[in-house]
Amino acid sequence: MPSPPVKRDLVSLRDVATDLPKLLARAAALKAERRRGTLRPTLRAKNLALIFEKPSTRTRVSFEVGIRDLGGGAIYLSARDLQLGRGETIADTARILSRYCDAIAYRAFRHADMVELARWATIPVINALDDLEHPCQIVADLLTMSERWKGRFRGHRLAWVGDGNNVLHSLLLGAAAVGLDLSVATPEKYRPRPEIVAQATELARGTGAQVTFVTDPATAARGADAIYTDVWVSMGDEAEQAAREAAFQGFQVNASLLALAATGAFVLHDLPAHRGQEITSEVLDGPRSAAWDQAENRLHAQKAILELLLRPPARRAGRSRQ
């Protein structure tokens, strides 16, 4: 009897670093198929459990619609409603869900809990955001940039203006993996974590991506081909709201900052936005905003991620039509 396939997780963007070209090509193909109405049920009868400890609009809906579009189903489980909220362990929850479902997408407060779930689940675990990373977001972001740059990352430079947070961490790894140059501007106190910077540096060594860190937004934005920002106060950071709002003064993506970027530069935001804080409505709603395409691309990226983790090549090989 053949041995069961080893399950694959997407806990960190690093887990798919070498799959990114394939993932992006498949996401683009799925986007075109959806537009033509020719999507095929590649995930027929697959069930995705969605455990969410924090709110979500894009991630939840794109996973639910994504798997349904491909013939599967999703079960939304707010952590409060699970026995997890009454003290059942993550390990036991992982073992039980593995008996019913084919994959788990988990939005957690703590990265350690994500790792624990992945350790005990015998089905793929997908990081739907935690305090360290937001890898699915970055697959959609790379798709958005790739569409605008005709598939070429090399020779382009993205500026990050804002917090050294979960989104930046996955972006650092993703940019380094595809050879995209990245200029990161954060306040001194809110730099990305050193262990992620070290991992990104290692990946960049293989692709030649140049990653730089500054504390002046204008330095990062000047001549950039795109500017990316995110909220100053992430979910879970609410206690630091006042200190953060003070520290991030000067880090707003507005018309003057955008004027420093290259001609034709566009703006990314993973959303939700705090209009008037990290970004102005003028920029977010303006002609150079890519944020709405970026949000749509979550749907196509989730499908490519689900297929990658749920349809290992060995299984696909035997099928004549799919």
Residue whose entry in the numeric block shows the structure tokens 């050193």: 194
Please report how close the Cβ of residue 270 comes to ligand NVA at its closest, in angstroms.
5
* Torsion over CA: 39, 41, 42, 46 (sign): positive
Q: Which of 133, 143, 150 is nearest to 21 (CA)?
A: 143
- Which structure tokens are listed for 187? 């306040």
Residue 211, phi then psi, degrees to nearest 5: -120, 125
- Give the footprint of ligand CP on residues 102-131 (CB under 6 A): 129
CA distances from 263 to 185, 224, 270 (A): 20, 9, 22
**Cα–Cα distance, 243 to 99 (Å, whole number):** 45
Please report how close the Cβ of residue 62 comes to ligand CP at its closest, in angstroms.
8
For residue 272, say if its preceding peptide bond is cis, omega within 30 degrees of 0.
Answer: yes
E strand or H helix at 224: none
Q: Does 58 sit near ligand CP (CB under 6 A)?
A: yes
Contact criterion met (CB below 8 Å) for 161 and 229: yes
Binder of residue 234, out of ligand NVA, ligand CP, none (CB less than 5 to 8 A by kind): ligand NVA
Count CB atoms within 10 A of the CB of residue 242.
9
Q: Which is nearer to ligand CP, 280 or 297 (CB)?
A: 297
Q: Which is nearer to ligand CP, 98 or 277 (CB)?
A: 277
User: Which of 12, 42, 137, 280 is close enough to bind ligand CP by CB under 6 A?
Assistant: 137
Site string for ligand NVA, 162-191 (x = CB under 6 A): ---xxx------------------------
CA distances from 209 to 56, 179, 290, 292 (A): 32, 4, 23, 27
Q: Which is nearer to ligand CP, 67 or 129 (CB)?
A: 129
Q: Does 270 sit near ligand NVA (CB under 6 A)?
A: yes
**Cα–Cα distance, 306 to 314 (Å, whole number):** 16
Please report how close the Cβ of residue 237 comes to ligand NVA at its closest, in angstroms.
8
Site string for ligand NVA, 103-132 (x = CB under 6 A): --------------------------x---
User: Which of 12, 229, 234, 294 is close enough to bind ligand NVA by CB under 6 A?
Assistant: 234
Q: Which of 205, 208, 200, 183 is nearest to 265 (CA)?
A: 183
CA distances from 178 to 4, 108, 199 (A): 31, 27, 14
User: Which of 12, 42, 59, 166 is close enough to bind ligand CP by CB under 6 A?
Assistant: 59
Please report how close the Cβ of residue 172 comes to ligand CP at its closest, in angstroms.
17
Q: Give the 3-state secondary structure of residue 260.
A: helix
Please report how close the Cβ of residue 156 comes to ligand CP at its closest, in angstroms.
22
Q: Which is nearer to ligand CP, 129 or 185 (CB)?
A: 129
Q: Which is nearer to ligand CP, 164 or 179 (CB)?
A: 164
User: Which of 65, 75, 235, 262 is close enough to bind ligand NVA by CB under 6 A?
Assistant: 235
Site string for ligand CP, 142-181 (x = CB under 6 A): ----------------------------------------
Binder of residue 57, out of ligand NVA, ligand CP, none (CB less than 5 to 8 A by kind): ligand CP
Overall size of the chain counted in residues: 322
Q: Does 231 sit near ligand NVA (CB under 6 A)?
A: yes
**Cα–Cα distance, 137 to 129 (Å, whole number):** 8
The residues binding ligand NVA (CB under 6 A) are: 129, 165-167, 230-231, 234-235, 270
The residues binding ligand CP (CB under 6 A) are: 56-59, 129, 137, 270-272
